[in-house]
Chain A
Amino acid sequence: MGKLPRRQFLRGLLAMGATGFLGKVSARAGEPPLYLSAADGADGRHYLLAFTPDGEIVFKTSLPGRGHAIAMRPDGGEALAVARRPGEWMLRVELRSGRILGEVVAAVGRHFYGHGVFSPDGGHFFVPENDYPGERGRIGVYAVREGYRKIADWDSGGIGPHELIYLPGDLLAVANGGLLTHPDSGRDVLNLDTMRSNLALIDGRSGQILERHELAPQWRLSSIRHLTALADGAVAVAMQTQADSRGHAPLVGLYRPGEGLQPLWAPQSVQRGLRDYCGSICGDSSGRFLAVSSPRGGRVCFWSDAGDYLGETALADGCGIAASGDVGEFVLSDGLGGLSRFDLAGTGIGVIHRGQGWRWDNHLSRLAAAG
């Protein structure tokens, strides 16, 4: 299964032993880590699920529609399930119990994209929104302690903002997918002729757009959708391409401060096997290793933060990825109900749990143990 040709090299890197670096959401004292994901049940309904590292379900909460990613408040008190594009709701859930705390609804003419992120102090929640009458990407800023009153509305720096993350130094990194869509026309794209995707860096306090990075014009049909923070201010992005590229368009990119955004490639046969589509991206707890899932290709690929391709593992319908807390280790979820653990330095992939009829949706989040 796991094909990791560079194990020696990996061991060396792992031995350098980078420790936890940023953005960690911690549980309260004495509580174990918790994983959260949206999922469809065997009954065909949509849920938010929390489970332990052993795959034991802690709670399940019904969602108003299909969820996408789960955001967690840094103090570990609350999680937000944001409706999948083009949904208009965010459901607030108490993190330990799954109890519903309330619902936040998008303004008229707006919908969400399934992602959102808290400021490190937990005071603000940032949400990519589609202003579809205006055909512009926006970042909604909500005051958490004022019942999620919307206090600002920023330019996202492009069209189709999808995932966003909060970086050290009060920076928001936003994946502007570049695709113009309208909720009433489903998920169809209306601007193939002009689309350009970018990675925007935005001042998390003022909303000022500081930097915008695009790939070379020949890759303009590659849409940046997901991103993850790595060590030293680097950001890795995962893409889908609207071109019929069959392995020739980039699907993963690496931004380093001062160096812009560069594509990362897998070996050609693997690149082709990614089927022009990556669904989720996640750095490990050290910020030195990177996992990218391709559910269409049925595999997850790994790179180092230096841009070295490390290998891949087969995972049918795999998409969700979370850092496990150990260096070089990831927890992976798939739409067929499986939860797996993958250790870059170890023996490859191991199944945590399989079955129970859950179809794990695109993204997996982790609430770290207190400490």
Chain B
Amino acid sequence: MKLANLLLLILFGPLVLAATPEDMQSVNLRVAQEQVLPGYRHFHEKAERFRDTLGDFCSSPDEHGMSKAREGFAQLLAAWMGAEHWQFGAIEFGLRRERIWFWPDKRGRSGRQLSAALAEADPKLLAQDAFAYASVAVQGLTAAERLLYENETLEAIASQPYRCLLLKAIAGNMVHLSGEILTDWQRAGDGDLAAIQGAEQDNDIYPEPAAVTARLLASLRNPLVRIHQLKLAAPMGESATGARPKRAESWRSGLGIANLRSNFAALAALYGEQPDQGLRSLLGERHAPLDREIVTAFEEIRKDLDKLPDDAFADPAQRPALEALLARVQSLEQTVEKSLPAALDIPLGFNSLDGD
């Protein structure tokens, strides 16, 4: 480096290296176009696929059809877990998040409301217009999981065709909801993407690009809290004897660890797979150690998750591995909450993420 350049860097380094509104705008748009929209599109496609699979299965329920249906469900759930982290835009409205995935449900509310719906077997409930207003415990993927993975699934479905109608209504509801989300994101004029594009001109939704970047930061941090507290600490309990594997997400289908893999793949992408991608591209040179720490944490967590079996929460032998994972996630959460906002000069929202 030439002396003059070095001098410039020393004198103006912090200024030169700080992210500008243009940098943020560029990251916001790339994340929206390369992650948010493809994520919801993928979810939409998997919902359509699941619906179609159920069509075949429900017309003549057999083992083959059930395994296809379960496979379709697993892919759809994985797609949702890859989009669950977004904390802004269409998903915020109309209770869509809860309607897609009602969890946790410690008191088995879903089970009771599902039993009631099955006992009533009211065909009117299943029309899309009515179904969208059914309890969130019945209209989403948590209810579908119960219907597809409870004991004697095939016998139950064969003896009560309404179960399959309900499954189809849920699949249809997912197609509908994901379609609405995509429409809201892509609509010209007042869509979510348009609002992000317009942030440089202070529109009704975002006064500046930093406001969008703040939502991206929240989409990284809030899911880490949820994963730490609900998806890991709750089923693990205080000690091995206090473990509560039925508090694990998706314990019926055994997809809980797969959910975490999808969650972390999406979060790592949001942070940035490469230095010029995602939120990390907004970090200046001087934050290289912080960047290294976060990248390493994501990498270690990915390796931990790859090694865990599907039934990890029910297997005492996996406890040390789970504890190591929990510690890593907690540490990453702390870093993302305490160091990253300051490094990006983007404050984490608080009241704007509240529900009261």
Chain A residues in contact with chain B, CB under 8 A? 40, 42, 44, 68, 84-85, 113-114, 162, 182, 184-193, 225, 240, 242-246, 269-270, 272-273, 275-276, 279, 293, 295-298, 314, 316-320, 334-337, 359-362
Contact = CB atoms under 8 A, between A and B. Distances in A.
For B106, B135, B137, B355, which residue has the most chain A Cβ atoms within 10 angstroms? B355
For B93, B107, B134, which residue has the most chain A Cβ atoms within 10 angstroms? B93
A185 B102 contact: yes
B223 to A, nearest CB: 14
B204 A190 contact: no
B96 interface: yes
A312 to B, nearest CB: 11
A273 B204 contact: yes
Interface in B209-250: 211
Contact of A85 (B107, B130, B356): B356
B351 A185 contact: no
Interface in B324-356: 337-338, 347, 349-352, 354-356
28 contacts: A42-B338, A68-B356, A85-B356, A114-B356, A182-B107, A184-B105, A184-B106, A184-B107, A185-B102, A185-B106, A185-B107, A187-B355, A190-B136, A191-B135, A192-B135, A193-B133, A193-B135, A273-B204, A275-B92, A276-B92, A295-B349, A295-B354, A316-B207, A317-B350, A334-B351, A336-B349, A359-B350, A360-B350
A40 B349 CA distance: 12
B351 A190 contact: no
Interface in B130-164: 130, 133-137
Contact of B93 (A276, A293, A361): A276
Nearest to B101: A188
A191 B347 CA distance: 35
Contacts of A68: 356
B65 to A, nearest CB: 31
Given A184-B107, A188-B102, A296 B352 contact: yes
B17 interface: no
Specify the main secondary structure of chain A where it touches its partner: loop
A264 B107 CA distance: 39
Given A185-B109, A190-B113, A279 B351 contact: yes
Given A186-B104, A190-B113, A275-B92, A298 B352 contact: yes
Specify the main secondary structure of chain B where it touches its partner: loop
Interface of B: 90, 92-96, 98, 102, 104-107, 109, 113, 130, 133-137, 180, 184, 190, 204-205, 207, 211, 337-338, 347, 349-352, 354-356
Contacts of A314: 207
Given A246-B190, A273-B204, A314-B207, A189 B95 contact: yes
A155 to B, nearest CB: 22
B108 to A, nearest CB: 9
Q: Lowest 6 CB-CB distances: which A-B pairs, in order?
A: A335-B350, A244-B94, A295-B351, A319-B351, A273-B204, A244-B93
Contact of B211 (A240, A293, A316): A316
Contacts of A191: 135
B350 A84 contact: no
A190 B350 contact: no
B94 A298 contact: no
Contact of B190 (A182, A192, A272, A334): A272
A113 B338 CA distance: 29
B204 A243 contact: no
Given A273-B205, A319-B354, 17 more contacts: A40-B350, A113-B356, A182-B109, A185-B106, A192-B136, A193-B133, A242-B94, A244-B184, A270-B204, A272-B204, A276-B93, A297-B205, A298-B207, A298-B352, A316-B207, A317-B352, A336-B349
Nearest to B226: A186
Contacts, number: 117
Nearest to B125: A193
B351 A44 contact: no
A42 to B, nearest CB: 8
Contacts of B184: 244
A300 to B, nearest CB: 12
Contact of B337 (A44, A272, A296, A335): A44
A298 B211 contact: yes
Contacts of A276: 92-93
B134 to A, nearest CB: 6
Contacts of B102: 185, 188
B350 A336 contact: yes
A323 to B, nearest CB: 19
A19 B93 CA distance: 41
Contacts of A162: 356
B356 A84 contact: yes
A187 B230 CA distance: 13
Contact of A188 (B136, B349, B356): B136
Contacts of B350: 40, 295, 317, 335-336, 359-361
Nearest to A225: B356
B244 to A, nearest CB: 13
Given A185-B105, A298-B211, A275 B205 contact: yes
Nearest to B352: A295
Contact of A296 (B92, B105, B180): B92
Contacts of A317: 347, 349-352
Contacts of B130: 193
Contacts of B104: 184-186
Contact of B94 (A182, A243, A337): A243
A184 B105 CA distance: 7
A269 B204 contact: yes
A187 B356 CA distance: 10
A356 to B, nearest CB: 13
For A84, A188, A279, A293, which residue has the most chain B Cβ atoms within 10 angstroms? A188
A296 B351 CA distance: 8
Contact of B134 (A185, A192, A240): A192
A274 B104 CA distance: 29
A90 to B, nearest CB: 16
A272 B134 CA distance: 27
A270 B106 CA distance: 40
Contact of B95 (A186, A192, A359): A192
A362 B353 CA distance: 11
B98 A318 contact: no
A335 B205 contact: no
A234 B109 CA distance: 40
A244 B192 CA distance: 13
A328 B331 CA distance: 46
A293 to B, nearest CB: 8
Given A84-B356, A317-B350, A362-B356, A244 B96 contact: yes
